[in-house]
Amino acid sequence: MRIVVVGTRGIPNILGGVETHCEELYPRLVKLGCEVILVRRSCYVTPDNLLSEYKGVKLHDLYAPRKKSIEAIIHTILAICYAKKISADILHIHAVGPSLLVPFARLLGLKVVMTHHGPDYDRKKWSKWAKRIIKIGEKMGVKYSNQVIVISNVINDILKKEYNRTDTHLIYNGVTTPQKSSQTDYIESIGLKTRKYVLALGRFVEEKGFDGLVRTFIKANIAGYKLVLAGDADHENEYSLNLKKLAKDNGVVLTGFIKGEKLNQILTNACLFVLPSSHEGLPISLLEAMSYGLDVLVSDIPANLELHLTNSDYLSCFDWDDLQVKLIKKITINDTLVQYNLLPYDWDYIAEQVNKVYQLI
């Protein structure tokens, strides 16, 4: 079965939750017997990842302008035409924006699976016009895809309520059991000590609330601890530039986008993971922190509540006074690793579930 994957910037080592999802999922589907061709956006292909294949997944690069308002749509049109040209058995489209083109793919005779990763039209980075278009993308994807996968019950409920689609497949994001790093050379090189820093991980966009986290951490004035922001902006804008300046001016450690051993060391040695965001699908960064046994402090939005953490692990969304109180309490009282039940988020199990969805078409 030939699967063409669209809607991701690309793999490997490209920033983004959908990108991490695809990097973990598709090599496993190859092992299950699928031929997978993942179409990457040319503007994200660097000299470091000029590859034709990754762990059995074939990579095909197509043009995309690096402009957030049009890159996904232009690239998706080209990718759909490519999928038709090579006679794909299934076109798998990720995210609601690219799903605007599902009717086009169906008109060409392609069979389509859509994965809904979250209501992207809620993201603050989009203009009112862009939000309307993305919302239409959700409608087109849900209405015209042969099969629809959702990554959380929250999304499942939206599709039932707004579109009366009741045959979706709930398949969570996943996480791998890590081999924790025994090294500390990287964290030491950026001025960190084991268990003496708080970690936030993700893209530098408004809904993550990292600017509020920085200001709250400064106000808390917790002696001997540092704040680390691991990540970057995929499209630099006023918010991300101001966030970086605020962080640098106040001694916050900025790692940039990191993977591999550097990320392993950062996660292995942190004392607390914080995610104060107002919008998530099912955050892979949080699952990663949990896989390392880190104590967590996250916003009480529906996607995070779905993980059923303890009450003390949640803070009122964008309530910075609440964050300050709980941040101090977590650091001063709790210094032990935590064991979480992550069985529903096993990537091998997830790959088997997705493969079953393919078999339905």
pLDDT in tens, 251-308: 999 999 999 999 999 999 999 999 999 988 889 999 999 999 999 999 999 989 999 9
Q: How far is CA 2 from CA 39, 84, 293, 342, 359, in A?
A: 13, 11, 38, 31, 12
Q: Do 31 and 160 belong to one domain?
A: yes
Residue 230 lies in a domain: yes
pLDDT in tens, 57-73: 999 999 999 887 789 99
Residue 341 lies in a domain: no
CATH classification at residue 218: 3.40.50.2000
Domain count, the chain: 2
Q: Do 317 and 199 belong to one domain?
A: yes
Residue 120 confidence (pLDDT): 76
- How many CA atoms lie less than 13 Å away from 63 in the CB half-sphere? 5
Sheet arrangement for strand 253-256 = 253-256, 226-230, 197-201, 272-275, 296-299, 314-315
Q: Which domain holds residue 284?
A: 185-333
Q: What is the distance between the alpha carbons of residues 97 and 78, in angstroms, rounded to a whole number?
A: 15
Q: What is the distance between the alpha carbons of residues 86 and 6, in angstroms, rounded to a whole number?
A: 14
Residue whose C-alpha is closest to residue 201's, from 103, 118, 277, 293: 277
Residue 340 lies in a domain: no
- Coil/strand/helix, residue 135: helix
Q: Do 159 and 201 belong to one domain?
A: no
Q: What is the DSSP string of 341-360?
A: --GGGBHHHHHHHHHHHHHT
Q: Is residue 175 within 8 Å of residue 285, measured between CB atoms?
A: no
Q: Do 62 and 126 belong to one domain?
A: yes
Q: Is residue 286 within 8 Å of residue 174, measured between CB atoms?
A: no
- Coil/strand/helix, residue 53: strand
Q: Do 50 and 130 belong to one domain?
A: yes
Secondary structure tally for the chain: helices H, strands E: 13, 14
Percent of the chain whose pLDDT exceeds 70: 99
Q: Which residue in the block uniquely carries the two structure tokens 């991300």?
A: 240
pLDDT in tens, 314-344: 999 999 999 999 999 999 876 678 899 998 8
Q: Do 41 and 101 belong to one domain?
A: yes
Q: Do 170 and 195 belong to one domain?
A: no
Residue 334 confidence (pLDDT): 64
Residue 339 lies in a domain: no
**One-letter amino acid of 22:** C
Q: Do 189 and 170 belong to one domain?
A: no
Q: What is the DSSP letter of 176?
A: P
Average pLDDT (220-241) is 94
Chain centroid to Cα 127, Å, comes to 21
Q: Which residue in the block uniquely carries the two structure tokens 């993550």?
A: 208
Q: What is the distance between the alpha carbons of residues 337 and 330, in angstroms, rounded to a whole number?
A: 12
Residue 235 confidence (pLDDT): 81
pLDDT in tens, 117-157: 988 777 766 778 888 999 999 999 999 999 999 999 999 99
Q: Do 13 and 156 belong to one domain?
A: yes
Beta strands in 127-187 (DSSP E): 147-150, 169-170
Contacts made by residues 184-192, CB under 8 angstroms, sequence distance 24+: 184/265, 184/269, 185/265, 186/261, 186/262, 186/265, 186/266, 187/265, 187/266, 187/269, 190/253, 190/255, 191/226, 191/253, 192/226, 192/228, 192/253, 192/269
